[in-house]
Amino acid sequence: MPAPTHPARTARLAALLAAAAVAAAGCGTGAAPEQNEADADWAAVTIEHAYGSTEITQRPERIVTVGWSDEATLLELGIVPVGMTASVYAGDDEGYLPWDVEKLEEMGEEPPELINTDDGIPAEQVANLAPDLILGVQSGMEEDEYDQLSEIAPTVPYLDQPWMTEWSEQTLTIGRAVGREEDAQAIVDATSQHITDAAEAHPEFAETTFAVGSVLPGTNDLGFYVDADARPVLMRGLGFQQAPFTEDMEVPDGQFYGTMSLENADQVDADLIVMWFNSADEREQIEDNEVFQRIGAVESGGYVAYDDPAMAMAISTPNPLTIPWVLEDFTTDLAAAVEARG
């Protein structure tokens, strides 16, 4: 017996599918024979993820990305999505990130339509783009959003934990979803080499413990990212060792950071700490705090801080476009802090 369906949800899904059908009809260009020919060598792909599995039976031609940095892998593969996530935090006035803009200009392509996902994924806008694949590999896509988007097109959400798909796995997953896994592997190898070269140029990193954190907006609480988060993953790739105190923090399921009251900042025991701030004012307020100043790494010079959104975003969502874009400046800052600490 089929599970009961809520009438309002049924009507909503029907409207979304109707919108997608209308949009798809408007996108017709007489290219169907080429599409059929292209599909002749396509083998169905099944991708396992947090909500089960997604089968992609046809070569995707209209792709929408709703995850952080998912578009970067596509662009590096030479594929321009029809829609991608806007970055209100670090993008330009419209919401485009600088490395994406540079890549699009290099490709001679127009920017895709932007999708603001700050308050959830707008399914109607996604449907209007008539996608045949939706990617949210680096996202916090909720299950009801996944169910709704899957009614529009095959959808790939995060693989295990929200926001914690490692960049290399993200790249390979997207490559597999679009039938370009070998190309994606080549991109991973080349990008990994950038990180390996930086680590080899700085052997001192291997002897240095680190913590990466931020300030929770509207509070005096510090947040430090867990070991599976993209930022610590990048730091370990550069040779650093995770500070033990971060592994002892209580982290709720599905959360990528643990919290600590500023009054307990004396527990921050790491040779180096890297911090992000949402604004220069927020950074100044924390750095003027006497308790924060007594953190060992801050007091000794083993402290790196960023209040530039693009820099913070590039390091927070490492991918094949941001790693070459940011790595030289980032490692220069890290090396200076390690040297200052002595």
Strand pairing class (45-49; 52-56)? antiparallel
Place of tokens 């020919």: 37
Q: What is the DSSP letter of 74?
A: H
The C-alpha atoms of residue 170 and residue 166 are separated, in whole angstroms, by 6
156, β-bridge pairs: 135
40 pLDDT tier (thresholds 50, 70, 90): low
| pLDDT for res 250 | 83
Residue 62 has pLDDT above 60, yes or no: yes
Which one of 2.40.30.260, 3.40.50.1980, 3.40.50.20, 3.40.1280.10 gives the CATH number of domain 43-188? 3.40.50.1980
- Where along the chain do its domains lie? 43-188, 202-341
Q: What is the pTM of this model?
A: 0.87
41 pLDDT tier (thresholds 50, 70, 90): confident
> Could you count the other beta carbons within 10 Å of the beta carbon of residue 46?
10
Residue 11 has pLDDT above 80, yes or no: no
b vs e for 280-315, b when ≥16 Cβ sit within 10 Å of the residue's Cβ?
eeebeebeeeeebeebbbbeeebbbbbbebbbbbbb
Tens-place pLDDT, residues 106-151: 999 999 999 999 999 999 999 999 999 999 999 999 999 999 999 9
Q: Which two tokens stand for residue 292?
A: 């924060």
- Three-class SS state of 254: coil
Architecture of the structural domain at 202-341 = 3-Layer(aba) Sandwich (3.40)
φ, ψ dihedrals at 291, nearest 5°: -65, -45
Q: Which two tokens stand for residue 242?
A: 């995770």
